[in-house]
Structure 1
Amino acid sequence: MADSGGGVVEQHALSATTLQALADGYGGAEAVAELWRGQESRRLLLFKLAHDHLADTTDRRTALKAVFEAEDREPELVRAILVDPMVALWAAGIVRRAPRETVPLADIVRLNEIAVAAAMWAESDVETRGWSRNGWVSIPTIGRLPVSEQSGPVRLVVTKGLLSVDGLDRDLDDPGWQHARTVTVGDDTDVQLEDIDPCRDTFHIRAAERLSDSDFDVWRRALDAAWQILTQYCPERVLELSAGLHALVPFPEPENRTAHSATARDAIGVIGLDLPKDPAELAVTLIHEFQHSKLSSVLDVLDLYRPSDRLFFAPWRTDARPISGLLQGVYAFIAVADTWARLSAVPERFPRAQREFAESRAQVSEALDTLAGSDLLTSAGERFLTGMRGAVNRLNSIQLPTVAEAAAERLLADRRAAWQIANPAAS
């Protein structure tokens, strides 16, 4: 299948060995890299479908011509743009909306801005229009510039890689730029900290506005502290994160200090979150959400369950969950329990870890049994369940004080009772 340019969008499948490794809760860097190759093809296909959904206008033809010309000059650089997380979110949004509703002009024009980014990276040419959003024009993977118009079209010209906006040259050293930013964690893992791209608002919580330099530094130091914890106590998780974590989207600090996090379904490897005060909690949050990315990547190429209207009790939620949500929760909380188990071995450094481990282990054990009894898993899903059960059995073999186990069981019973009252039809 042809991609947006001269390459090929491959068909992907998972080997039985890779599926088994992933079901066991980990998978390793090689398995994550295999999942990412599938995601790259998916994103290229999404980009093709997105521009095919747009009307055949002069703008569209100009943008595609510029992308193809840039791709001829710098294929790897342009491919990196087309599989960028924010470009993937744009493409998925177009594909989901275009057949059924009118797509805002600002979103249509995003294709032109992608072409501008390609021309800038490849040092080629294009003349087109971008769109001012609240006084900013945004160029994917590069950053955004202030413009005079608060909302409306903006003339963009790239000549041999140099950009002018409404007739004014805007060199990348221009102080008006707000550049896309990355955080380097560990030895050499770069993670985008996405706080300007207009496509980042894909979660149930609105993304934070541009971070100040001081706030950016707070995030950088917090991520470094969490990464150090994972490197010391969960090195296998760090290898996976290094292979597949691409971007973090900051959320505003919640008023009630209840932590929020989410995974971008249309851009695997993108996590939205507010910043926990505790680096251990941040470490666990990264692991939790990355598990969702891994499982979602598996589900893109393999059916693990049959769709159903039935709803189930998930101990970590107050609402009734479909089979898809139950499976995602079990997979994520196996990793949560495993991470707290490792940290609980150092109680003087992580005093809450033992309690958190006991609670998450009790929750995931019950939810796994619910999943097994659902009769909704495919044959591949049953194999995946067997792998997850092995991981849970290992967690259950870890000795905990009787008082910690009893407290966790009481909390689980209380949550089950409250859930049954709130969801009588599902129970």
Structure 2
Amino acid sequence: MPAALLAELGRTEGGRAALGLLVRDQHARRLVRLRAVLDAAAAAPAAVCPPAALDRLRADWALLEDAERADRDAVRAVLLHPLTGPWAQRCLYGLTATGPAGAPAVPELAADLAHFGAIAAAAAVRAGLTATCHLTAHGDLLALPTLGALRTYPGARVEASLADGVLTLRQGSATPPVVVRTVRRNPADDAGAAARSAGPAAATASDDPRWLPLGALPALLPGAAPVLLDDLDPYRTAGSGLERHGLGAVTRLDPGSRAAWAASWAGTEPVLRIGGEHRTAEAALLLRCLVPLAPPPGRGPAGESASHCSGTRREAFGAVLSSRPSTPAYFAATLVHELQHTKLSALAALVRLHDAGPAEAYFAPWRTDPRPFDGLLQGAYSHLALADYWQRYALAARSTTQRDLAWAEHARCAEQVGAVLPVLTEADTLTPEGRVVVGEMAATHDRLAQDPPPTGHAARARAYVATARTLWRQRHHTDARPRTAPGGVRGTAPGEGRS
């Protein structure tokens, strides 16, 4: 990681070169992990991966290779789909963990391994192959990543035939087949390889109501990829511990809900641009799919309030899980917040930022529980970007209501970051790269202070953080600021930023 690019990322920014480096590294890791699934299956005992399951995996892998020879970019759009990451991690754990008497440690491992067939079939569809394969439904859906899903029954066996851009799904002679038409874009029409390998290159349609096409939101910038609105993939929250982080449950969208998401999205890009051109650019490059969540509990029948819930998963690079924000300003803020977690997690995978352990000992004003050092760094990083976004929004706002809302959000985020920066800057567990990042964060915080919020907002923010610190000390019977650093989902819970 070149020093100049590291400094950019430390400021919560990052141009195309810096973000491109993170993306390429994450893509390489994904491809290695996918190969590792096949190798782990071959090395697993027969009680964990029976010979028939291994033969099927190898057949699916061969189909994947055929598809890649036909259209490499089309296949990568499936392999690099964010939600393929949680599936691969789940398979690797199931294949390598030891259960009682050599049995699988994960009861769902057989279903997880069978899903590889759906991945290979989706790649073959997108590549325009002529082929036939046999698939198994996961739950009540047979989901083909990035394309859509067949509504069926748990464990259904389905024959998929691909020819001339038509996908035919048969569930036995007694059930009429489902015919799905695919429309492939000409790769020459795309602005670049990044868009081709990231976004939908095919759309699906069927007259049969059993087929559920996957929705997509328009690209944020010309030449960028559309953003999938994925409410069908069985691995969108599997193993995430969603409930522990205060997030709403996953939800399947009806036509009205899809229209509401599309309307919210349509107003987000102009507001996101107010936060700086770099915010729009990072969202266009990093965001691959949105996973819709149900509104937070207790927020009214429609969840219409400024409070919502969102989160990211390290293994699902490029995905943001979120309930639908109530306004474009909050939608943009959600993207700013969550994509900072995406950036910092990818950076930490590329270069070591600190050597701190997992001990949960730190006060974070956006949480009521003690945080590990890494969680403190992640939260400060994302809230620093939010403070920058809301300050820019306040300075550009034309109405008093919008200006006051933005200053209140900015003041709270800036005060929260200021409360933990001393712990981060004084930590002796930071690596040289980590010191660059934290130093740039501190400099950015100082820059934001040059345009302070109105006095009332600043006072309320200070009182908010002071109260949070007092309550934290009372609850945990300890000081809120340890003097030295000790040797799944990152979420934003209802009503408070959680990182």
Equivalences for residues 43-58 of structure 1 within 5 A? 43-54=30-41, 55=49, 57-58=54-55
| Contact 1:186–1:224 (8 Å) recurs in 2 | no
Equivalences for residues 247-326 of structure 1 within 5 A? 247-257=289-299, 258-308=307-357, 309=359, 311-326=361-376
1:165 aligns with 2:170: yes
Q: How much has 1:310 moved relative to structure 2? A: 5.1
Q: How much has 1:213 moved relative to structure 2? A: 1.4
Q: How much has 1:187 moved relative to structure 2? A: 4.3
Detail structure 1 runs of 4+ shifted over 6 Å in the superposition: none
1:184 aligns with 2:218: yes
TM-score, length-normalised on structure 1?
0.91
| Contact 1:355–1:404 (8 Å) recurs in 2 | yes
SS of alignment partner, residue 313 of structure 1: coil
Match of 1:28 among 11, 15, 23: 15
Distance 1:19 1:253, change over 3 A: same
Q: Distance in 1 between matches of 2:325 and 2:403?
A: 15
Distance 1:424 1:98, change over 3 A: farther
Q: Distance in 2 between matches of 1:318 and 1:158?
A: 53
| Contact 1:320–1:426 (8 Å) recurs in 2 | no
Distance 1:186 1:115, change over 3 A: closer
Q: How much has 1:420 moved relative to structure 2? A: 0.9
Q: How much has 1:200 moved relative to structure 2? A: 0.9
Q: How much has 1:195 moved relative to structure 2? A: 0.6
- In structure 2, the partner of 1:6 is none
Q: How much has 1:146 moved relative to structure 2? A: 2.4
Q: How much has 1:412 moved relative to structure 2? A: 0.9
1:96 aligns with 2:93: yes
1:144 aligns with 2:149: yes
| Contact 2:248–2:309 (8 Å) recurs in 1 | no
Query: Which amino acid letter does the alignment assign opposite residue 376 of structure 2?
Result: L
Equivalences for residues 66-145 of structure 1 within 5 A? 66-100=63-97, 101-102=105-106, 103-145=108-150
Q: Distance in 2 between matches of 1:58 and 1:267?
A: 27
Q: Distance in 2 between matches of 1:326 and 1:220?
A: 34
SS of alignment partner, residue 130 of structure 1: strand
Greater Cα shift, 388-397 or 88-97 = 88-97
SS of alignment partner, residue 115 of structure 1: helix
- In structure 1, the partner of 2:206 is 174
Q: Distance in 2 between matches of 1:304 and 1:199?
A: 29
Greater Cα shift, 323-332 or 176-185 = 176-185
Distance 1:159 1:169, change over 3 A: farther
Give the aligned CA root-mean-square deviation in angstroms. 2.0
Question: What's the CA shift string for 1:3-30, capped at 9, x where partnerless?
Answer: xxxxxxxxxxx22111111001211233
Query: Which amino acid letter does the alignment assign opposite residue 175 of structure 1?
Result: D
Greater Cα shift, 82-91 or 315-324 = 82-91
Greater Cα shift, 211-220 or 172-181 = 172-181
- In structure 2, the partner of 1:225 is 267
Q: How much has 1:59 moved relative to structure 2? A: 0.6
1:198 aligns with 2:234: yes
Q: Distance in 2 between matches of 1:158 and 1:425?
A: 63
| Contact 1:263–1:271 (8 Å) recurs in 2 | yes
Query: Which amino acid letter does the alignment assign opposite residue 363 of structure 1?
Result: Q
Q: Distance in 2 between matches of 1:124 and 1:222?
A: 37
| Contact 1:311–1:426 (8 Å) recurs in 2 | no
Q: How much has 1:323 moved relative to structure 2? A: 0.6
> Sequence identity of aligned pairs in percent?
29
**Structure 1 unaligned regions, length at least 5:** 1-13
Q: How much has 1:53 moved relative to structure 2? A: 2.2
- In structure 1, the partner of 2:455 is 402
| Contact 2:295–2:323 (8 Å) recurs in 1 | yes
| Contact 1:59–1:128 (8 Å) recurs in 2 | no
| Contact 2:353–2:430 (8 Å) recurs in 1 | yes
Q: Distance in 2 between matches of 1:73 and 1:362?
A: 54
- In structure 2, the partner of 1:64 is 61
Aligned length: 413
Q: How much has 1:105 moved relative to structure 2? A: 1.9
Query: Which amino acid letter does the alignment assign opposite residue 106 of structure 1?
Result: A
